[in-house]
Amino acid sequence: MRAIGAIVIAVAIAATLYVFATGSERGETPPATTPASDVFTLPDEIGTGFYTDDERNNIAVFESASPSVVFVTNTQLRRQRFSLNVQEIPRGSGTGFIWDESGLIVTNFHVVYGASKITITLQSNRSYEAEVVGSAPEKDIALLKINAPDEDLKALPLGDSSSLAVGRKVLAIGNPFALDTTLTVGVVSALGREIKSVNDRTIKNVVQTDAAINPGNSGGPLLDSQGRLIGVNTAIYSPSGASAGIGFAIPVNAVKVIVPQLIQHGKLFRPVIGIETLTDYWTRRLRVKGVAILSVRDGMPADEAGMIGVREDGRGNIHLGDVIIAINGETVTNEDSLLSQLEQFEPGDVVQVTTLRDDEIQNYDLKLVAPSE
């Protein structure tokens, strides 16, 4: 009897497997292996079939944000070698996004650098020539403007990059390799990274992501799972020039500060103390640790505080004056770090500048002023 029972059970199992296998071959849907709460049918306007919550979120963010993403084309005027005729030559392309309904477009500075003409193509396939409102090469941000109908100008909602954490889901939309409106998904891989801009300035507090960023993605938005802008994709780290799982984005909180300055001044607005500095080349040659002052401008804060620059004695020997080594206790190592420190303040702020002069520490309290236009 036990043998007969075992045979019956084996036959039943075999029959079940046969029905399952033949059903799959006929295209029938097998039983769900994921929990029922994780699988659902999307509304008709998104599509049919079974999707996970995460897939549905990806689709919803893409459909909501993609109308705000634009294609940026950079062309230059060049004279032909033999005919001397002037032609428009494509120089490159990238991505941008609509900042507000007035037609302001944010992209990377390196996307539009050297352009004779910039063309913006919207999701409606309408194209408009753009004017440059302002640029901040030290942050790799450029602000453009187009005149387009209101119905074509849908701005992205702004998020808060200070709330980001490693592991948080992010989505990137762009035009990699000139392929129109492509979505990639990943996570925040690291925070507080530093990268170099096109003019060799350091961009700090950059967001690192493993969402695929390729040539053409530059200037496109990095979004959170709510479809809010949290960064501007700007660079990749890759020996081959294609995505290797390490991409970088300028945090949106920095962009929120930069854009108003570009609207008002056309460039990044940084308070000054009224000095000219030795170049990093001479600083390295002289083995100076810090930023050596070359000269001070009359009537400016550094001059009024008694700071001095390079001096020459009667024998023609050069003597260094003040060498800036810290601002408000934060170490200054080169001109790049000095400028980055000053960018944190506004005209009217008082800062303590620490210098080294003739092997003695000097402290000056300086009231920052606005740069002369």
Q: What angle do CA 49, 54, 55 make, to 5 degrees?
A: 35
Alpha carbon distance 260, 246 (integer Å): 30
Cβ(293)–Cβ(310) below 8 Å: yes
Alpha carbon distance 173, 214 (integer Å): 11
Alpha carbon distance 353, 351 (integer Å): 6
Q: What is the 3-state secondary structure (H, E, C) of 291-305?
A: EEEEEECCCCHHHHH
Alpha carbon distance 347, 105 (integer Å): 28
Q: Which two tokens stand for residue 107?
A: 């992209």
Residue type for position 241: G
Q: What letter would DSSP give residue 347?
A: T
140 is catalytic: yes
Cβ(172)–Cβ(223) below 8 Å: yes
Q: What are the helix (H) ranges across the chain? A: 2-25, 53-65, 109-112, 252-265, 280-285, 301-305, 335-342
298 is catalytic: no
Report the candidate in 134, 156, 167 with the shortest Cα–Cα distance to residue 266. 134
Candidate list 68, 93, 140, 197, residue with the active-site label: 140
Cβ(99)–Cβ(148) below 8 Å: no
Cβ(66)–Cβ(184) below 8 Å: no
Candidate list 93, 161, 189, 218, residue with the active-site label: 218
The number of residues in the chain equals 373
Q: What angle do CA 292, 294, 298 make, to 5 degrees?
A: 125
Give me the phi and psi of 59, to 5 degrees please: -65, -45
110 is catalytic: yes
* First and final C-alpha spacing in the chain: 101
Q: What letter would DSSP give residue 287?
A: T
Candidate list 68, 93, 110, 243, residue with the active-site label: 110
**Three-state secondary structure call for residue 20:** helix
Enumerate the active-site residues.
110, 140, 218
